[in-house]
Amino acid sequence: MNVNPLKDKLILVVDDEPRIVRLVRMNLEAEGARVIDASNGLEALKQVREELPNAVILDVMMPELDGFETLKTIRETSDVPVIMLTVRADEDERVRGLELGADDYLGKPFSPRELVSRLKAVLRRTEREGMQEDILKIDDDLSIDFRNFQVIVKGNPVRLRPTEWRLLYHLVRHAGWVLTHDDILAKVWGPEYKGADEYVRLYITYLRQKIEPDPANPKYILTERGIGYKFVDYRKK
C-alpha cells in the first residue's frame, strides 16, 4: 500500500511573500497536510517551539532573521526536517544550508510538484530514522499517542496542556539521556529562558502527576540531582 507521508502532517511554511505561502499551502493541503505559516524567522522559531511541526519549508531571504540564522537556531533545539527555498541556488548557498542542517534545498522559482515530492521523500526518510509509531508503548501502563497529543495511562487517555506535551515530547525523544535544566528550557520554552529552573521543576511536577503511578516515587521521569531530568530508557526493557 502506497501511504501518503504528508497526510495529516503539520507543515510550517516560512516565507515573507504571501503569494508563495498561498501556493505552497494550496498544494500541501491538496495532499492532506495541515499548514501553518510564518513571515519571518522570529515567528518561525516560535512556531517550531510551540506547534512542533513535522517539517519546515524555510525561505532564505527574510526580514529580521534570515533563513540561515533561523535554521541555525532551530538546530540548537530541534531535529525537525527542513527544506530551504532561495532565489540564489548557487553551490555556496546550498553547501552552507546543508552544513547548518538543512535536509534539502530548492531554488526559486520552483515547481510545486517538485517541492511536494521532495517533502514526501524527506518525511519518509526521517520517519524511518525516528519514531515511526503513532502510539508509542512505554510499558503495560503507559503509552504515548503522538498523533492526538495525549498519553494513555492504564488504558485511559490523559490530555496534556501544550507545555506539558512539549516537555514530554523532548524527554521521550532523548530517552535514557540526561537533559540539563538549560537544555529543557531551550527546547520547551526557548533559549531566552536560560536559568529559569523553576519552570522546569513546576512542569515536571505537573507531568508526573498525570503519568506516574506514584508521583513522589517516579519510574518514568527520573531526577538527576543538580543536573536535570531523563526519561527512562524504555527501549532496554
The 10s digit of each residue's pLDDT in 24-75 is 999 999 999 999 999 999 999 999 988 889 999 999 988 889 999 999 998 8
- Domain end: 94, 129, 164, which one? 129
Residues 208 and 192 in one domain: yes
Domain match, 207 and 224 both = yes
Predicted confidence (pLDDT) per residue in 82-100, tens digit: 999 987 656 677 777 778 8
pLDDT tens digit sequence for 97-155: 778 888 888 888 889 999 999 899 888 876 654 444 567 889 999 999 877 778 999 99
Give the CA distances from residue 34 to residues 25, 31, 103, 181, in Å, rounded to whole numbers and listed in that order. 8, 9, 20, 32
pLDDT of residue 132: 46
Residue 57 is assigned to a structural domain of this protein:
yes
User: Is 56 in the same domain as 157?
Assistant: no
Please indicate, yes or no, whether residues 152 and 91 belong to a single structural domain of this protein. no
Domain boundary among 82, 97, 129: 129
- 4 in a structural domain: no
- The verdict on 121 and 18 lying in the same domain is yes
| Number of compact structural domains in the chain | 2
Residues 15 and 118 placed together within one structural domain of the fold = yes
Q: Do 84 and 178 reside in the same domain of the chain?
A: no
What is the reported pLDDT for 232? 92
pLDDT of residue 79: 78
Q: Does residue 160 share a domain with residue 122? A: no
Please name which of 48, 2, 67 lies closest in space to residue 191, comparing C-alpha atoms: 48
- The Cβ of residue 193 has, within 10 Å, a number of other Cβ atoms equal to 16
CATH of the domain at 67: 3.40.50.2300
- Of the three residues 96, 129, 162, the one that is the final residue of a domain is 129
Same domain for 108 and 211 = no
Residue 2 inside a domain? The answer is: no
Residues of the domain holding 47: 10-129
Q: Are residues 79 and 139 in the same domain?
A: no
pLDDT at 1: 44
Are residues 96 and 140 both part of a single domain?
Answer: no
The answer to whether residues 93 and 146 belong to one domain is no
Please provide the average confidence, as pLDDT, over all residues in the chain.
87
